[in-house]
Structure 1
Amino acid sequence: MTFQKIAAETYLPSPPAEGPPVVVVRKYDEVRDKAAVEELERRCEVGQPGKPSLVTDLMGDPIARVRNFMSHIMLVAEYGDGNEIVGVIRGCIKTVTNGKKMSSTQLPVYVKLAYILGLRVSSTHRRLGIATKLVQELENWCKQNGAEYAYMATECNNKPSLNLFTQKCNYVKFRNPTVLVQPVHLHSKPLPLDIIIVRIPPQLAELVYRNVFSTSEFFPKDIDRLLSNKLNLGTFMALPKKSLSNWNPKTRELPSSFAILSIWDTKEVYRLQVKGVSVLTHAVCLGTRVFDAMVPWLKIPSFPNVFENFGFYFLYGLHMEGKDGPRLMKSLCKFAHNMARNDAGCRVLVAEVGQMDPVREAIPHWKKFSWDEDVWCIKRFGEVNENCHDWYKSSVSSSSSSVIFVDPRDL
Structure 2
Amino acid sequence: MSVKIAAEYLPKQLPPGAVVAVREYDEGRDKVEVEELERECEVLGQQGKASLVTDLMGDPICRVRHFPHHIMLVAEYGEGEIVGMIRGCVKTVTRGNSVYVKLAYILGLRVSPTHRRLGIGTKLVQKLEEWCKEKGAEYAYMATDCTNEASINLFTIKCAYKKFRTPTMLVQPVHAHYKPIGSGHEIVKLTPQLAESIYRRIFANSEFFPRDMDNILRNKLNYGTFMAVQKKYDWDPKAGVLPASFAILSVWNTKDVFKLQVKGVSALTYVGCMGTRLLDACMPWLRLPSFPDVFRQFGVYVLYGLHMEGQDASRLMNSLCAFAHNLARDDVGCGAVVAEVGQRDPVREAIPHWKRFSWAEDMWCIKKLGDAGEKCEQSDDWMNYYQSSSSVIFVDPRDF
With structure 2 as the length reference, what TM-score do the two structures score? 0.92
Partner of 2:244: 256
Partner SS, residue 66 of structure 1: coil
Taking the aligned partners of 2:275 and 2:287, their CA distance within structure 1 comes to: 14
Q: Following superposition of structure 1 onto structure 2, how do residues 284-295 of structure 1 map, counting pairs within 5 Å?
A: 284-295=272-283
Displacement of 1:193: 2.9
Match of 2:287 among 287, 299, 302: 299
Displacement of 1:305: 1.0
Match of 1:33 among 30, 47, 50: 30
Displacement of 1:277: 2.0
Identity value in percent? 69
Taking the aligned partners of 2:368 and 2:179, their CA distance within structure 1 comes to: 46
Answer yes or no: is the 8 Å Cα contact 1:260–1:329 preserved in 2. yes
Query: What is the one-letter code of the residue matched to 1:286?
Result: M
Partner of 1:12: none
After superposition, give the CA deviation of every residue in 1:9-61 in whole Å (9 maximum; x if it has no partner): xxxxxxxxxx9452111000010001111111122229574542211111012
Partner SS, residue 157 of structure 1: coil
After superposition, give the CA deviation of every residue in 1:219-272 in whole Å (9 maximum; x if it has no partner): 0000000000000000000000111x2x23233221111000000000101111
Q: Note closer, same or farther for the CA distance 1:164–1:57 as it changes in structure 2 (3 Å cut).
A: same
After superposition, give the CA deviation of every residue in 1:279-303 in whole Å (9 maximum; x if it has no partner): 2221111111122233333222211
Taking the aligned partners of 1:193 and 1:394, their CA distance within structure 2 comes to: 42
With structure 1 as the length reference, what TM-score do the two structures score? 0.90
Q: Following superposition of structure 1 onto structure 2, how do residues 58-97 of structure 1 map, counting pairs within 5 Å?
A: 58-81=56-79, 83-97=80-94
Partner of 1:200: 190
Taking the aligned partners of 1:162 and 1:224, their CA distance within structure 2 comes to: 33
Answer yes or no: is the 8 Å Cα contact 2:177–2:280 preserved in 1. no
Unaligned stretches of 5+ in structure 1?
1-18, 101-107
How many residues get paired?
Answer: 382
Taking the aligned partners of 1:347 and 1:270, their CA distance within structure 2 comes to: 13
1:326 and 2:335 correspond: no
1:45 and 2:36 correspond: no
Partner of 1:406: 395
Partner of 1:234: 224
Partner SS, residue 94 of structure 2: strand
Bigger mean CA offset, 280-289 vs 213-222: 280-289
Partner of 1:391: 382
Q: Note closer, same or farther for the CA distance 1:388–1:365 as it changes in structure 2 (3 Å cut).
A: farther
Displacement of 1:178: 0.2
Taking the aligned partners of 1:351 and 1:388, their CA distance within structure 2 comes to: 32
Q: Following superposition of structure 1 onto structure 2, how do residues 98-247 of structure 1 map, counting pairs within 5 Å?
A: 98-100=95-97, 108-243=98-233, 245=234, 247=235
Partner SS, residue 347 of structure 1: strand
Bigger mean CA offset, 324-333 vs 383-392: 383-392
Compute the RMSD of aligned alpha carbons.
1.8
Bigger mean CA offset, 144-153 vs 41-50: 41-50
Answer yes or no: is the 8 Å Cα contact 2:169–2:339 preserved in 1. yes
Query: What is the one-letter code of the residue matched to 1:98?
Result: R
Query: What is the one-letter code of the residue matched to 1:52?
Result: A
1:279 and 2:267 correspond: yes
